[in-house]
Amino acid sequence: MAMKQESQQEPITDHIKKEHRKTDEEIAELEKRVRGKRDDSLDPVFVPMKKELLGHMAAEEKVLYPPLEKEVREKIADAIKEHKEIRKHLEDLTTGGEMSESEWTRHLKMMEEEIAHHVQEEEKEILSVADRIFDREKLIKLGEEFEKVEKQYE
Ligand SMILES: [Fe+2]
Ligand SMILES: [Fe+2]
């Protein structure tokens, strides 16, 4: 069976943080590649990044947020709103072929700022709570469920 290393054994919080760092790298790579208006040279980074982000957000909403609903209700409501904004940015960037170079770059920058803000809050206000209230076994179990949801987006 071809399985990702460490899969099945990773606490959900570590898994999510790793993906946050990966997104940072992908956005930095996109910024390096933006030279003209959106073209094929961006697709090898943008297309998989979009899928990963959609899977990541869906998995957070299905697996991470519900068991924390009582502890951090407002934070979760904010996080879900922010996910909506990020999805909207992803859509705008996908159909951005008609946009001028500066417009596409401006949208990318806006998404980057939205994500940076969201990730910071999520790690500080939500993941830290998960790490505090769940034991390692539970965190690993949630990590497995998280990956299952993500796989539906691959
Ligand atoms: Fe996240
Ligand atoms: Fe999130």
- Per-residue model confidence (pLDDT) at position 6: 47
CA of 122 to the centre of ligand 1 (A): 7
CA 154 to chain centre: 14
Question: If you average pLDDT over residues 89-111, what whole number do you get?
Answer: 84
Give a yes or no: residue 76 inside a domain.
yes
Q: Is the pLDDT of residue 18 over 60?
A: yes
Q: What is the domain count for the chain? A: 1
CA of 82 to the centre of ligand 2 (A): 8
Residues 43-67 as b/e (b if ≥16 CB within 10 A, e otherwise) read eebbeebbebbbbbbbbbeebbbee
- Per-residue model confidence (pLDDT) at position 153: 93
Give a yes or no: residue 145 inside a domain.
yes
pTM (predicted TM-score):
0.90
- Here the tokens at position 140 are 């690993």
Give a yes or no: residue 3 inside a domain.
no
Range of the domain at 108: 12-151
- Per-residue model confidence (pLDDT) at position 2: 47
> What whole-number distance in Å separates Cα of residue 54 and Cα of residue 60?
10
CA of 60 to the centre of ligand 1 (A): 7
Q: In terms of Cα–Cα distance, which of 70, 58, 71, 84 is closest to 125?
A: 71
Give a yes or no: residue 99 inside a domain.
yes
Question: For residue 34, what pLDDT band results from cuts at 50, 70 and 90?
Answer: confident
Give 39-77 pLDDT, tens digit per residue: 677 889 999 999 999 999 999 999 999 999 999 999 999
- Here the tokens at position 113 are 């700022």
Residues 97-111 as b/e (b if ≥16 CB within 10 A, e otherwise) read eebeeeebbebbeeb
- Per-residue model confidence (pLDDT) at position 32: 85
CA of 72 to the centre of ligand 2 (A): 14
CA of 18 to the centre of ligand 1 (A): 9
Give a yes or no: residue 1 inside a domain.
no
- Here the tokens at position 138 are 């539970």
Q: In terms of Cα–Cα distance, which of 68, 77, 74 is closest to 131?
A: 68
